[in-house]
Chains A and B, each alone.
Chain A
Amino acid sequence: MTDEPAPLEAGPAGEGIRPGYGDLVAGSLAVVFGATVLVYIRGFPQLPGGQPGPALFPGIIAGLFALFGGILVVRWFAQRRAGVDAVVEGAEQPERPTTKAWLTALAMCAAVVVYLLVVDLLGFTLTMSVLLFALMKLLGTRTLLAALAAVTTAVVLVLLFQMVLLVPLPTGILG
């Protein structure tokens, strides 16, 4: 054995941001997804001549999903066995997000869902102002700045989209 670094061919630069199960999970998901689609499209109609029609492209794509997902999984096991850590030159390795960061990201997603749920009731301006204020407070903005920025953004959006671009933003039953 030489003490040379692991051969780069084992994993081209840029992959394996985090050593662990990422590739295994992603590959397996691709295989399962491909297989599911392949089963699902059996119900699609054929062309009058009996050739595949609507099912052809999704079928090819699903087959390739399964194939490349499989390659990812096989490669993961191969790398595991060879003891190659998936981290190679060129791969960014961001720090693991803290629990607080995860919660903030979750709040960002939740904000979109909350927006969808209440916008037809409260109207755009109010909903957006409140959500923006809440998110900015959560990210640690001072109250006054957050309030000012939130309301300004909501009003600018209304002016820009409703007045200039003539997009009918929801007014809500209160508006």
Chain B
Amino acid sequence: MDNLGSALALVADPSLLVVVLLTAVYGLFIGSIPGLTATLATALLVPFAFFLEPLPAIAAIITMSAMAIFAGDVPSALVRMPGTPASAAYTDDAYRLTQSGKGALVLGVGLVGSAIGGIVGAVVLIVAAPLLAEVAVQFTSYEYFWVAILGLTAAVVISRGSQVKGMISLLIGLFLSTVGIDIALGYDRFTFGSTALLQGISFIPAMIGLFGFSEVLRNVLHPAGRPLTPELSTKGIFRDSFRTLWRYRRAAVTGNAIGTGIGVLPGAGGDVAAWVSYAVSKNTSKEGHLFGTGKGHIEPIVSAGSSNNSALASAYVPTLVFGIPGDTITAILIGVLLVKGVEPGPALFAEQSPLLYGIYAVFILANLLMIPLGYLTIRGSGMLLRVPRHVLMPIILAFCIVGSFAINNGNLEIIVMLLLGILGYLLERGGFPLAPVVLGLVLGPIVEQNFMQSVIKTNWDLAQFFTRPISAVLMVATVLVLAYPTLARMLRRAVLRRR
């Protein structure tokens, strides 16, 4: 109870509430603009988070991302352009429903479903994380090595698209993480005499480049047409939404279960959760054949719309317990925490850290706050969509420049931002996923450090990596993840044959 009290005290801090409110509005704004992702919003938020205390910094990222993922539903319903990739799975249904006059219901269901999904994910986090942390306390450098490897493997296997390309993306991130002073001997690697590079490639400018500047380039190179926005009547929106959610409660439960499950997996976030939920509800629903055709169907919005938000919250389980990011947003969060000297991991749980309870409380607060603010967003959606992109893009570029500079007051960071922005655009264009790059950048040092520590202390007794019990379990898990695509394909064939 003490902890609950101190958590409430932490959250009731007026300055924290201001941060939450401001970032909520910011998240709703970015999320509503097609093409601007929640990850971009996080990357641009990072320079500010960098100057905040740990809890407000985390609160800012949690609130902002939850709002952005919901707000992504708005343009997908109104103009058939998903505001964030997490809404893409059900954009077609949302748009078709809006065309047949049910726009307000779609957004209402999306809003309430998102809030419920976020809270379900948070509850899973609150229950599961401490349990897992008890196991994690026993971890030594061997186990951390394997957890990091597991995270990397999952990042490649789960990434949408080609796994060979996912692997190459991961290698790019890993390689960038080796620049700077090496852990074993303090030798400077790949710095080519630059003293500024000795500390390595700064994580934050790299993120701003990969997700911020690359988006600017993409928007300039592939401009979207001018959206026409239909009018929405929001009368009775909540009553109808709750009714619909209740009617499709089975879909809502499945969506939340899939979302939390996928969120916990390292490297897979809200967009993967939404696609999987959509596919599952299409296959299990009696009306599945109506999804994505004709006038669209509300059921996928119930399931996938809550799924992406629950994944967002449960992604914090591996993040907080192992320091292994659950998705790109938590990867950025880990980067911020490490820069601020907070190391996520079981110690956070062992010390019953007030920070931890603060994080729990922020999740609940952010998702409750989503209802009124989300309602206002739906009311103002027409206006949001008319924000002129030709003014917005240069402004985002300005934030990218200043944000990168602010981390270290140096120009090298701006160059890193520029180069990784161009790289990010080219990678996406070539079908290479960006998420593994971030994971490689975050997990690379963890893998190397734990491996080097382990082998140096046992004088290269590599058997230790396989014979310690938890190590062995983690290794088997890694192999299973690696085998997953093949297993899934076999399973799919078996199911098809049975039909």
Contacts and interface: CB of A to CB of B under 8 A. Distances in A.
Given A12-B163, A61-B174, A97-B221, A47 B184 contact: yes
B221 A102 contact: yes
Given A13-B161, A141-B390, A57 B178 contact: yes
A65 B171 contact: yes
B394 A116 contact: no
A53 B175 contact: no
- The SS class assigned to the A binding surface is helix
Contact of B395 (A12, A65, A115, A132): A132
Q: How large is the interface on B (under 10, 10 to 19, 20 to 34, 35 or more residues)?
A: 35 or more
Contact of A64 (B167, B220, B401, B406): B167
Interface string B141-166: 00000000000000000001111110
Given A12-B162, A44-B187, A116-B415, A146 B168 contact: no
Interface in A97-138: 97, 101-102, 104-105, 108-109, 111-113, 115-116, 128, 131-132, 135-136
Contacts of A44: 187, 189
A2 interface: no
B399 A54 contact: no
Contacts of A97: 221-222
Interface in A14-39: 14-18, 22-23, 26, 30, 37
Contacts of A112: 213, 397, 401, 414, 417-418
A109 B48 CA distance: 24
B71 interface: no
B220 A26 contact: no
A14 B429 CA distance: 11
Contacts of A30: 168, 171
Given A53-B182, A109-B418, A116-B411, A153 B398 contact: yes
Nearest to B455: A51
A94 B429 CA distance: 9
A113 B400 CA distance: 13
A109 B422 contact: yes
Chain A interface size, under 10 / 10 to 19 / 20 to 34 / 35 or more:
35 or more
B292 to A, nearest CB: 14
B409 interface: yes
B430 A68 contact: no
A6 interface: no
A65 B451 CA distance: 20
Given A26-B432, A64-B167, A139-B394, A161 B406 contact: yes
Nearest to B223: A101
B243 to A, nearest CB: 34
Contacts of A5: none
A54 B182 contact: yes
A72 to B, nearest CB: 6
A72 B164 CA distance: 7
Contacts of A163: none
Given A44-B187, A115-B414, A65 B168 contact: yes
Given A72-B165, A108-B217, A141 B431 contact: no
Contact of A23 (B221, B430, B456): B430
A117 B143 CA distance: 47
A58 interface: yes
Contacts of B163: 12
A23 to B, nearest CB: 7
A95 interface: yes
Nearest to B417: A112
Contacts of B171: 30, 61, 64-65, 68
Contacts of A172: none
B383 interface: no
Contacts of A51: 455, 460
Given A136-B391, A154-B398, A12 B409 contact: no
A45 interface: yes
B240 interface: no
Contacts of A58: 175, 178, 189-190
13 contacts: A14-B431, A49-B459, A54-B187, A90-B160, A101-B221, A101-B223, A108-B217, A135-B397, A146-B391, A154-B398, A157-B402, A165-B47, A169-B402
Interface of A: 11-18, 22-23, 26, 30, 37, 40-41, 44-45, 47, 49, 51, 53-54, 56-58, 61-62, 64-65, 68-69, 71-72, 75, 90-91, 94-95, 97, 101-102, 104-105, 108-109, 111-113, 115-116, 128, 131-132, 135-136, 139-141, 145-146, 149-150, 153-154, 157, 161, 165-169
